[in-house]
Amino acid sequence: MPFRPIELPENGILLYESKHRGKDVVSEHHHRIYQILYAIEGEGKIILDRMEYEMTQDDAAFVVPYSSHAIQSDSSLTLLVLAFDADRLDSYVRDELFSRYFRQSIRLRLHPFAASEIRHLLRKMLFEGSGYDSLCSFAEKVYLLEVLMVLSRALQPYSPADTNSMRAERIRSYIDAHYYEPLSANDLASKLNISVRYLDAIFKEQYRITPLQYLTEVRIERAKKLLVETDKDIASICFEIGYETLSTFYRTFKNLVSLSPNKYRQIYRTQNRIEEGDD
C-alpha cells in the first residue's frame, strides 16, 4: 500500500479541496498524519481499511495515520480535506479524545445540527487559512479542536430514520448545549431544512412548548442558579446566558419568575442564610 506525503504548514494544519469527477478513483494509500474528509457535494464511496462506505453530502470520514483508504466518485464528489499533525495538539486531546473516540478510521453520518456546525467551522478555517492576520494560525487550531468536539459528540447513538420525536429531541439537546448563542426559530429550522411552523409543531407535540419558549426557560433557569450560587454581576449573567441587552433579560426574567433578578437574589440568599442558621 503506497504512502502519500502531505506537506503541512508550520502550524501543522492544512484544509484543502479535493474534487472527483465522473468515475474518478483514488487508489488505496495511507498517510502518516490524521485526516478528516467532509463531503460538501456529490456522491461516491470511501474505502477505509478494506471496508466500503457510501459517501454523500454532509458525510464525514475520520482517517487515522497509516490507515489504508481509497475514494471512488459516482457522477461527482467534492470533499474538503482537513489534514493535521496530532503532535501539535494538547496532550489531553491526544490522550483522551483520540483514544476514546478516534482509535480507528471511521465514516460518520452526521445529523443536521452536527453537519451545520461542521460546515460553519470549516468556512471559518478556510478564511483563517488565507492568512488574514498574525492570529490566523492560532485560530485554525482553535477551530480544529471544535471540529473534533462536534465529531466526537456525533458518535453518540442516533437514529437515521429521523422521526419527528427524534428531531424534537435533537432540537432540545442542541438548545441545551447552545443556549448562550443568539438562536432564533429560523436558525433552528434551517439546520433541519424545515419550516419554522413545522419546527414549532414537532417540538410542541413532544414538549408542549415551542423551541424558543424552551430556550427562554433554559436561560432563565441558568440565570437563577447563577444569581443564587455566585457573586457574578447581573450584567455578566445576562451576557453569559445569551442575552444581548440587560433590558431584555430583566423583562424576560420578571415575566417568568414574577421577580426582578436583584429581588430574586436577595430573597433566596436571605432564605439560605436563615436555613443555615436553623441548622
pTM, full prediction: 0.75
Cβ proximity of 108 and 117 under 8 Å:
no
Note the pLDDT of residue 271: 75
CA distance 50 to 275: 65
Note the pLDDT of residue 163: 75
Task: Classify residue 42 as left (phi > 0), alpha (psi -120 to 50) or beta.
Answer: left
Q: Where are the alpha helices (DSSP H) in the chain?
A: 91-92, 99-101, 112-128, 136-154, 164-178, 185-192, 196-207, 211-229, 234-240, 246-257, 261-278
Nearest-Å Rg of the Cα atoms of the chain is 23
Note the pLDDT of residue 161: 47
Note the pLDDT of residue 166: 82
Q: How many CB atoms lie within 10 A of CB 161?
A: 6
Matching CATH topology for 13-154 and 164-278?
no
Q: How many CB atoms lie within 10 A of CB 189?
A: 18
Looking at domain 13-154, its CATH architecture is Sandwich (2.60)
SS3 207: helix
Note the pLDDT of residue 253: 96
CATH number of the 164-278 domain: 1.10.10.60
Nearest CA-CA partner of 79 in 98, 113, 107, 114: 107
Where along the chain do its domains lie?
Answer: 13-154, 164-278
- pLDDT averages per 10-residue partition of the chain, 279 residues: 89 93 89 95 93 94 96 90 92 84 92 89 91 89 94 72 77 91 90 88 93 96 94 93 94 95 89 62
